[in-house]
Homo-oligomer: A and B are copies of this chain.
Amino acid sequence: MKKYTIKDIAELAGVSKGTVDRVIHNRGKVSKHAFEKVNRLLKEIDYQPNPIARNLKNNKVYSICVLLPDPKKDKYWESCVDGIEEAVQEFFHFGITVKVMLFDPFDQKNFEKQSVTALKLNVNGMLLAPLFQKESLVFIKACEKADITYFLFNNDIEKRETQRFVGQNLYVSGRVGARLIHKSLKNNATVAIIHIDEVLKNATHMQEKEKGFRDYFDELKGVDFEITTYKLKHRNSDNLKKTVKYFIDTHPEISGAFITNSKIHLLAALLKEENSKRCIVGYDLLPENVKYLKSGVIDFLIHQNPKRQAYLGLVFLIEHFLFDKDIPNKRFLPIDIVNSENASTYLK
């Protein structure tokens, strides 16, 4: 398995390396005869340019902006920063500049403001967690207009032409939660789907999870689960706690609960002791959540792997710029089920 270089191809075709280069890059200024001869050889040999040499000379500097929610406002996003860091480290020598911009996940206006600033940075690529549907769509259109290559992670948005997305299939994710609760509770039980502190207008991802959850139970035969959806929504965290407590006190019949985001610790904090007759399933390996998982209050967490999502999204953009790789269409990541025993294997 020989490694062919441009020089090898040139010699085989009886031309100079300049001509081979022109053929490879379609720069024109090549006679039909030479073009065909070289092209045939390239195909025959399945020539792959040496990626090492290719990037040595590369004096271009590509800039990418990552637009994601402020981890201070929602800890879920903390590990994304690690993933971005990792990718930056990995491609440091290739001339990649990454600028991280944060926005308030509870404030559309702030997102709009930050996205306008991001556009002004005049970057080559944009990695975005499109929390707000409508505003994100506007932003993406603006990126297209400004010839900025964009990529989405965490959640997808509807009504898009392109398919540039990395993350989990949230519908399937809801089904996974349903299966876990079903297997734990057996037939006949009262189950709650709980959306905590979400702006539902924009949170189609919550709805996707709910749909998957409900579909799973709808498809079952011979069992009788009663499923109700609850929305606990408050900005103020003290208020939220009161609401959750009230909710728990007034719903003693619920034996299974599916909390559709990482806020599950707010509910777990009020449940305290382990109860093997109950099944509580939620999302994400926040330290708070893992604590309740290990103490047995939470039974399962679904790991959305935000770190890997951010890492991969960034790497896709970088490799597109550096190596002309195609940007992938909808890359779905594994949906990891975590219990008290395997939690530690996912943390670092």
A residues near B, CB below 8 A? 3, 48, 50-53, 55-56, 92-95, 168-169, 172, 175-176, 178-180, 182-184, 186-187, 216, 223, 276-277, 279, 299, 332-342, 344-346
**Provided the pairs A334-B346, A346-B334 are in contact, do residues A93 and B52 lie with their beta carbons within 8 angstroms?**
yes
Across the interface, do A277 and B186 meet the contact criterion of CB distance under 8 Å? yes
Measured between beta carbons, the chain B residues less than 8 angstroms from A182 are 276
A339, B336: Cα distance in complex, Å: 10
Contact of A51 among B93, B180, B187, B342 (CB under 8 A): B93
Across the interface, do B339 and A276 meet the contact criterion of CB distance under 8 Å? no
A276, B187: Cα distance in complex, Å: 8
**Shortest CB distance A253–B (Å):** 18
**Shortest CB distance A316–B (Å):** 16
Measured between beta carbons, the chain B residues less than 8 angstroms from A340 are 179
Measured between beta carbons, the chain B residues less than 8 angstroms from A277 are 186
**Residue in A178, A277, A344 with the greatest tally of chain B CB atoms within 10 Å:** A344
Measured between beta carbons, the chain B residues less than 8 angstroms from A53 are 56
A341, B336: Cα distance in complex, Å: 11
Q: Which 6 A-B pairs have the closest CB atoms?
A: A337-B337, A335-B342, A175-B341, A176-B341, A334-B345, A179-B341
**Shortest CB distance A54–B (Å):** 9
Across the interface, do A179 and B339 meet the contact criterion of CB distance under 8 Å? yes
Across the interface, do B337 and A334 meet the contact criterion of CB distance under 8 Å? no
14 additional A-B pairs beyond A176-B339, A180-B339, A187-B276, beta carbons within 8 Å, are A48-B93, A51-B93, A52-B94, A168-B345, A169-B345, A172-B342, A172-B344, A176-B342, A186-B277, A334-B345, A335-B342, A335-B345, A337-B337, A337-B338
A184, B179: Cα distance in complex, Å: 11
A338, B279: Cα distance in complex, Å: 18
Measured between beta carbons, the chain B residues less than 8 angstroms from A279 are 183
**Provided the pairs A51-B93, A172-B345, A334-B345 are in contact, do residues A276 and B183 lie with their beta carbons within 8 angstroms?**
yes
